[in-house]
Structure 1
Amino acid sequence: MINRRSLRVKVLQLLFSYYNQVIHKQDKKKLQLEISKQLNKSILDIEKSYYDIISLLIVFKNINEEKKMISENELIKKSALRFNLSKNSIINFLETNSTVIDGLIKHKNGWSTKTEKIRNWYNILLQQEFYKIYISIEQPSFDEDYNFLQNLILKFLFKYEDIKKSFEEENIFWSEDFLIVKSMIKKTLKTLNSSNFNTFATASLSEDIKDDVKFACSLFDFVIDNSNEYDEYISKFAKNWDFDRISLMDRTILRMGIGEMTNFSNIPLKVSINECIDIAKNYSTPKSGKFINGLLDVISLNLQKEDKIIKTGKGLIDNK
């Protein structure tokens, strides 16, 4: 499931992209709109990647089924155990489950355009030790089907470099989205704990995706629309620092922090500041966290004096 940290990181990345591009653009509003749409799409694409993984399971199963039919038609004497994948009870269930089908229809994948690549992946799969163990089992039990499925996803789909590269080509945010998709898949696997599938449920990207998208896109727009004002605060309180010497990444994090503190009345100041500190530690320099912390703390105190920070809930104003 996506969280506010993930949303803030997406906003940061696209703000950074905007500031890098805007100096070369005459129509700044057009650029802002284009990147805002990209932000919206990047959030929704996480769910698409989740269904792409499920779809790939079904594609592998169907290739195995196809190989089985060819073998039977050509009267090739090959062990039926080679085709355990085509009979995997869980993948067959996923293929026919109405919720999964609806998700696959909603998020059309591009696997049909990568037939040769997928068949290469399938051939690599055949060489994996966990696959060889699976096909050596006569009439796999539900638990054995489940263990194979876990290995297929966690040891192969999420780790084989060419598959990872394919997702990266489709989604420039895959390095961050990967962890969210992985957690969603793991959550789904946990619901597949009985052979009658009565506990099965697909994972939701968010409890309120509209609210999450609104938060991210609003924060993005607030920062861009008020960049000049935010920069004045940064320049004023960044003692011993020339504004132009502050890295673009740190400036972007600071702008984002000010934007969140002044425009979201239900988010505690402490949360906004701490989130920016942690993001700075991961996406900027080793010293950036401390720098961001000190500067946002001072700026927040002055914004409160100017009545530019208004919080509606108890305890939301405390930034100590």
Structure 2
Amino acid sequence: MLNRRHFRVKVMQTIYAMHRHESDSLDTEEKFLFQSIENSQDLYLVMLSIFNELQLKEKAYLELASKKHLATKEEQNPNFKFVNNSFFKILGTHTAFFDKVKERKIDNWKRNDDCIIFLLESIKTSDLYKRYMAVETSEFKKDIFFIYDVFNEIIAPNEKLYDYLEDYKITWVDDIPVINTLLSKQIKSIKSFDDSIELPVVFKDLDDKEFVRNLFRKTVLNELEFATAFENKTPNWDKERIAELDTIILKMAICELLKFPSIPVKVTLNEYLEIAKEYSTPKSSIFINGILDNLVKDFQAENKINKAGRGLL
């Protein structure tokens, strides 16, 4: 579900938090690191469960409205096209999804149904919904496209939803775009009732999990050594002038260059430059790029970079 860049960001944030809290407990911080990664699966379940709650909320509303003493003609004969959408039917029979929701105790929308009501109203007042409901007949393909558009145009960009997710679990902030992209692709890929939604796993294999553990531990345990390596390349910079996040990014990059023989040099350089662009100061990527370029040349001249496999330099 998460890619290696996302794992690198999680490690970076954990090391930054260690520095902020002046913590020296590797075990405690490593536990927090893996928990923050596991939490991304909970976010996926929370986002997917929105659809189930939307259907239940609208179905309950239509049934209640039809029983009102002074129900209108429209309320007496409600249009169930939305609640009978093919996507809802597929999700409603997804036993593994409901088992996982129960296992992970995902009940966010039961305790915060105001968010679901707000999303439902946003959907029902949209032109997208009005066009969909105006056509009496239902088609599987159009049902899926409708849900796909609803998710991308109304649910995913909703600020109230984003604020709730951010407040509920701060580690989700960086996960939201990844989870939204994954869900969007999954919805679009559904072609028939025989299709299901594959629940993603956090780590695609043991190598990913070991990568996270090793990157975290090897960076933290060798921080002084790595700091010395790049401080010698910054004679005109006082330590206080270098952003703390930049120093962490540099240490992690050096760690990969020296301690991870299976990761190509170019991959390491590209990954950390992109992370610097997104998470540090505007000039950080230029600064980090210059330092790493010089370090790579020195490490190669000193035969410190030993990569296993062809084409890894």
Deviates more, 1:142-151 or 1:219-228: 142-151
Question: 2:164 corresponds to which residue?
Answer: 166
1:312 aligns with 2:296: no
Would the alpha carbon gap of residues 131 and 107 (structure 1) be closer, same or farther in structure 2, given more than 3 Å must change? farther
Question: 1:226 corresponds to which residue?
Answer: 222
Identity of aligned residues (%): 29
1:297 aligns with 2:293: yes
Question: 2:67 corresponds to which residue?
Answer: 73
How many residues are aligned here? 309
Structure 2 residue corresponding to 1:255, chosen from 229, 251, 254 = 251
Instruction: Return the offset for 1:83.
Output: 3.0
Give the letter aligned to residue 141 of structure 2: D
1:89 aligns with 2:83: no
Instruction: Return the offset for 1:203.
Output: 5.3
Instruction: Return the offset for 1:168.
Output: 1.4
SS in 1 for 2:175: helix
Compute the RMSD of aligned alpha carbons.
2.4
Instruction: Return the offset for 1:206.
Output: 5.6
Instruction: Return the offset for 1:113.
Output: 1.2
Give the letter aligned to residue 311 of structure 1: K
Instruction: Return the offset for 1:92.
Output: 1.8
Give the letter aligned to residue 113 of structure 1: R
Would the alpha carbon gap of residues 33 and 10 (structure 1) be closer, same or farther in structure 2, given more than 3 Å must change? same
Question: 1:156 corresponds to which residue?
Answer: 154
Matches within 5 A, 1:1-320: 1-22=1-22, 28-30=23-25, 32-74=26-68, 76=71, 77-79=73-75, 80-109=77-106, 110-194=108-192, 197-202=193-198, 204-205=200-201, 208-304=204-300, 308-316=304-312, 318=313
Give the letter aligned to residue 99 of structure 1: A
Contact in 2 for aligned 1:16/1:249 (Cα 8 Å): yes
Distance 2:16 2:56 in 1: 43
Give the letter aligned to residue 152 of structure 1: V
Distance 2:170 2:224 in 1: 29
Instruction: Return the offset for 1:13.
Output: 2.1
SS in 2 for 1:29: coil
Q: TM-score, normalised by structure 1?
A: 0.86
Instruction: Return the offset for 1:62.
Output: 0.5
Cα deviation, 1:54-97, whole Å, max 9, x if unaligned, reads 21101110111112221343463325454322211221221112
Give the letter aligned to residue 162 of structure 1: K
Instruction: Return the offset for 1:205.
Output: 4.6
Instruction: Return the offset for 1:307.
Output: 5.2
Distance 2:47 2:82 in 1: 16
**5+ long unaligned stretches in structure 2:** none
Distance 1:301 1:19 in 2: 30
Cα deviation, 1:204-236, whole Å, max 9, x if unaligned, reads 356625432331232122111111111111222
Instruction: Return the offset for 1:187.
Output: 2.2
Distance 1:244 1:234 in 2: 14
SS in 2 for 1:131: helix
**Which stretches of structure 1, 4 residues or longer, exceed 4 Å deviation after superposition?**
304-308
Give the letter aligned to residue 237 of structure 2: W
Cα deviation, 1:255-295, whole Å, max 9, x if unaligned, reads 11111122211101221122222222222233322321222
Distance 2:167 2:240 in 1: 34
Contact in 1 for aligned 2:144/2:188 (Cα 8 Å): no
Contact in 1 for aligned 2:41/2:202 (Cα 8 Å): no
Give the letter aligned to residue 169 of structure 2: N
Cα deviation, 1:174-228, whole Å, max 9, x if unaligned, reads 442122112211221133112xx22434253566254323312321221111111
Would the alpha carbon gap of residues 265 and 246 (structure 1) be closer, same or farther in structure 2, given more than 3 Å must change? same
Contact in 1 for aligned 2:115/2:160 (Cα 8 Å): no
Deviates more, 1:268-277 or 1:304-313: 304-313
Distance 1:66 1:184 in 2: 29
Contact in 2 for aligned 1:260/1:272 (Cα 8 Å): yes
Instruction: Return the offset for 1:245.
Output: 2.3
Distance 2:154 2:32 in 1: 30
Contact in 2 for aligned 1:192/1:199 (Cα 8 Å): yes
Distance 2:311 2:145 in 1: 47
Contact in 2 for aligned 1:5/1:275 (Cα 8 Å): yes
Distance 1:72 1:277 in 2: 59
Contact in 1 for aligned 2:122/2:154 (Cα 8 Å): no
Distance 2:14 2:252 in 1: 11
Contact in 2 for aligned 1:268/1:311 (Cα 8 Å): yes
